């Protein structure tokens, strides 16, 4: 059991930011990553569609005999986890609750902002999770729909991305937020821009890091840490070559093989 891989899925490339953190924190674990590149983005789809995609992605990874499942995608975590937990008897780690815990721990003013896709923000999953931990924290939710396509296009340092960050974060001015949660797989890649825009007095909290820690805790609690050989496999639902090229940029390391699911 311990030697089985951990399954990770995302709507596409973005979840590689979660894989990167898992590799850092749990370097001994075998991983199987599935990116649903044929159907990305999830962030502007309906609740029913996102839930169906999440169940299908989970089934694909369960067929690969994984020992635990990480829902790297914030949008799929917001809409799909309940149905997944009803359907599959396997530890499922999502990003919303670990992210909520991390942002609550980071705030002193008890005023936080959450950035995410339209669907994640509409679900109110983050404010609900934050209020379940501490009802006195006020949450400013900001949908940032244009950031994902800009980042997917590799425009990380581009003036257009800087401009959109400025635009989306303008609503935080004067709100007294001292912590902002990156509630989307892609945003850690523009963390520098967000930090520069907000200044040093606002803590930037990454749900990818928080989720990786949560995974480590689940593996320890269930005595599931791998002690044997490890490998990392990648699967996508669309063109493997494009994923491989862009994914190497995301991960800042080479990806030797990407398989078509």
Of 41-49, 86-94, 157-165, 191-199: span binding ligand DGL (CB under 6 A): 41-49
H/E run at residue 10: strand 6-10
Q: Are 112 and 49 in contact (CB under 8 A)?
A: no
| Shortest Cβ 93–ligand DGL spacing (Å) | 14
Question: What 3-state class would DSSP assign to 89?
Answer: coil
120 binds ligand DGL (CB under 6 A): yes
**Residue 144 falls in the annotated catalytic set:** no
Closest contact distance (angstroms) between CB of 125 and ligand DGL is 11
Query: Which one of 6, 8, 70, 73 is in contact with ligand DGL (CB under 6 A)?
Result: 73
Interface stretch with ligand DGL, choices 59-67, 68-76, 217-225, 247-255 (CB under 6 A) = 68-76
How many other C-beta atoms lie within 10 A of the C-beta of residue 229? Answer: 8
Query: Kind of pairing, strands 232-236 and 259-260?
Result: parallel
* Minimum CB–partner distance for residue 251 and ligand DGL (Å): 15
| Complex with ligand DGL: residue 9 or 255, whichever CB lies closer | 9
Helices of type H across the chain: 16-25, 47-63, 74-87, 96-106, 118-123, 125-133, 147-152, 159-169, 191-198, 207-221, 240-251
Catalytic residue of the set 8, 19, 58, 73: 73
177 is catalytic: no
Q: Is 125 in the site for ligand DGL (CB under 6 A)?
A: no
Backbone φ, ψ for residue 139 (5° rounding): -120, 125
Distance of CA 180 to the CA centre of its chain: 15
- Measured from the CB atom, is 95 or 198 closer to ligand DGL? 95
Q: Which residues are catalytic?
A: 73, 184
**Which stretches of the chain bind ligand DGL, using CB under 6 A?**
10-11, 14, 40-43, 73-75, 117, 120, 148, 184-186
């Amino acid at each position: 059991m311990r030697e089985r891989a951990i399954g990770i899925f995302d709507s596409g490339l973005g979840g590689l930011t979660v894989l990167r953190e898992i590799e850092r924190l749990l370097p001994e674990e075998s991983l199987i990553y599935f990116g649903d590149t044929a159907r990305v983005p999830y962030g502007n789809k309906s609740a029913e569609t996102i839930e169906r995609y999440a169940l299908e992605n989970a089934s694909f990874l369960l067929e690969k005999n994984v020992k635990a499942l990480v829902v790297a995608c914030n949008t799929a975590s917001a809409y799909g986890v309940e149905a997944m937990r009803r359907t599959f008897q396997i530890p499922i780690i999502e990003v919303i609750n670990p992210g909520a815990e991390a942002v609550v721990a980071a705030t002193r003013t008890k005023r936080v902002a959450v950035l995410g896709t339209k669907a994640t923000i509409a679900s109110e999953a983050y404010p609900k999770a934050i209020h379940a931990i501490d009802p006195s924290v006020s949450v400013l939710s900001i949908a940032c729909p244009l950031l994902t396509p800009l980042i997917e296009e590799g425009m990380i340092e581009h003036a257009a991305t800087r401009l959109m960050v400025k635009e989306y974060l303008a609503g935080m001015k004067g709100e007294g937020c001292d912590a902002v949660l990156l509630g989307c797989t892609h945003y850690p890649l523009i963390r520098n821009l967000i930090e520069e825009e907000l200044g040093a007095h606002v803590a930037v909290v990454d749900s990818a890091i928080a989720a990786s820690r949560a995974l480590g805790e689940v593996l320890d609690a269930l005595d599931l840490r791998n002690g044997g050989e490890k490998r990392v496999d990648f699967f996508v639902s669309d063109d493997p070559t494009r994923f491989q090229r862009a994914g190497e940029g995301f991960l800042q390391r080479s990806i030797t093989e990407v398989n078509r699911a």
